[in-house]
Amino acid sequence: MLYRTAGQFKTSYEADQALFPVKQDAFLLGFIMVLAWVIFPLTASEFTFQTLLIPILIYSLAALGLNILTGYAGQLSLGTAAFMGVGAYACYKMITIMPWMNPIIAILLSGVFSAGVGVAFGIPSLRIKGFYLAIATLAAQFFLVWLFEKWSWLYNDNASGAIQVPNLDIFGLYVSGPQADSIVQYYLVLFIVCLLTWVCINLTRGNLGRTWKATRDMDIAAELIGINLMKSKLTAFAISSYVVGVAGALFVFMWRGAAEPNLFDIPLSFRILFIAIIGGLGSILGNYLGAILIVGLPVVLNLVPEALGIPVSSSMVEHLNFMIVGGLIVFFLIVEPHGLAQLWRLLREKLILWPFPY
């Protein structure tokens, strides 16, 4: 009833291929946008901003980047965190060398560096496939983290070996550093996430996205129908690393405020891979659903014992978190290997027919 698509006729090919061929989808997205842009910022507390809203957005952006590479182009990557690190360090260096630079531009440019590094580590993908390719991204992961530690120029020769985000402002409004307001940071993150998501949706729908999908499904066949595999795989690496790099810059500048090299170690890579897989590989929406689950779950779990009045030590909660997240991952993979996005797709099919199933 609510999701009835009957009667929405398309008279041209363009209309049928539009971003929202069904009106209700557009309404739903509009509703989510209103929530994200108006309702949440008006109602959220400092705690909600810092533990839920901002990290969920940043993690979904990183997962989106990974999803382009793994979900759309079919190249397994276990080195996402290292590419986030490249973005973060690039942004930090740009800000320290050119302090007059607009932070938004610096963040968007920092992705370019990680894209370059991503392409360099993506070159082996032309020859190595499947699980063997994971080694290329793992090499990137361990080598880059080592580099962040040893190359003191990257962190301005700090004694601590960590990078500390300075106070940055856009037209007098602080966006990062200790003086920044959470709500300003939230809007900035939201803006960049929306922008990049919009770009990525259209990329994956277009010519490039189709060559990626063909490469993913069977790369020899793709080559036979005239797809340039080198171009397809390397663009996937470049664009994916760009998005991941921007997410990394946001991760440090808009959320953590400081970063040590081991922040970008392999557990972060796995975390993002979980988000992408639980959300659904080859889906844009899935990244957001996955991030809400993976980021939100520990926060909720932390609140549960307190709410029930059971005294549990914080280390116990942390270990329980590990167990529950691990168990849930297995559970979700068994119940729906195609991820949360597939659950939404099924629900939508049901809603279109409801309440007359035939």
Partner 1 sequence: MDLLRDIFINPFVEMAAMPDLFLQTLWEGLVSGVLYALIALGFVLIFRSSRIFNFAQGIMVVFAALTLVGLYAYGIPAWIAVLLTLGVMFVLAVSIERVVLRPLVGQPDIILFMATIGVSLFLIGLGEIIFGGENKQMITSELGIPTGETLLEPWGGLLILPHLDITVVVVGGVLVAALLAFLNYTKMGRAIRALGDDHQAALSVGISLQTIWVLVWFIAGIIALVTGIAWGARAGVSFALEVIAYKALPVLMLGGLESITGAIVGGLMIGILEKLFDGYWGYPILGGNTETWFAFVLALIVLLFRPQGLFGERIIERV
Give the interface with partner 1 as residue ranges (CB under 8 A): 70, 76, 124, 127-132, 134-136, 138-139, 141-143, 145-146, 149-150, 218, 220-221, 224, 266, 270, 273-274, 277, 281, 315-316, 319-330, 333-334, 337
Q: Which is nearer to partner 1, 178 or 326 (CB)?
A: 326
Helices (H), 206-284: 207-217, 219-224, 229-250, 266-279
Whole-number Å distance between alpha carbons of 233 and 269: 20
Give whole-number Cα distances, 89 to 86, 110, 163, in Å.
5, 8, 8
Q: Which is nearer to partner 1, 55 or 74 (CB)?
A: 74
246, 196 in Cβ contact below 8 A? yes
Smallest separation, CB 259 to partner 1 (Å): 18
CA atoms within 13 A on the CB side of 297: 19
How many residues are there in the chain?
Answer: 358
Smallest separation, CB 138 to partner 1 (Å): 5
- β-pair partners for 170: 173
Smallest separation, CB 92 to partner 1 (Å): 21
Tokens coding 316: 């116990």
Whole-number Å distance between alpha carbons of 332 and 12: 40
Q: Which is nearer to partner 1, 131 or 358 (CB)?
A: 131
Looking at residue 21, its amino acid is: P
Q: Which is nearer to partner 1, 15 or 135 (CB)?
A: 135
Smallest separation, CB 143 to partner 1 (Å): 4
Angle between helices 80-97 and 229-250 (to 10 degrees): 60
Cα dihedral across residues 137, 127, 333, 248: positive or negative: positive
Looking at residue 188, its amino acid is: L
Smallest separation, CB 161 to partner 1 (Å): 13
Whole-number Å distance between alpha carbons of 335 and 40: 31
Q: Which is nearer to partner 1, 95 or 277 (CB)?
A: 277
Q: Which is nearer to partner 1, 142 or 198 (CB)?
A: 142
Smallest separation, CB 278 to partner 1 (Å): 8
Smallest separation, CB 237 to partner 1 (Å): 15
Whole-number Å distance between alpha carbons of 122 and 277: 21
Strand 163-164 vs strand 173-176: parallel, antiparallel, or unpaired? unpaired
Smallest separation, CB 342 to partner 1 (Å): 12
258's enclosing H/E stretch is strand 258-259
Q: Which is nearer to partner 1, 5 or 262 (CB)?
A: 262
Q: Which is nearer to partner 1, 48 or 262 (CB)?
A: 262
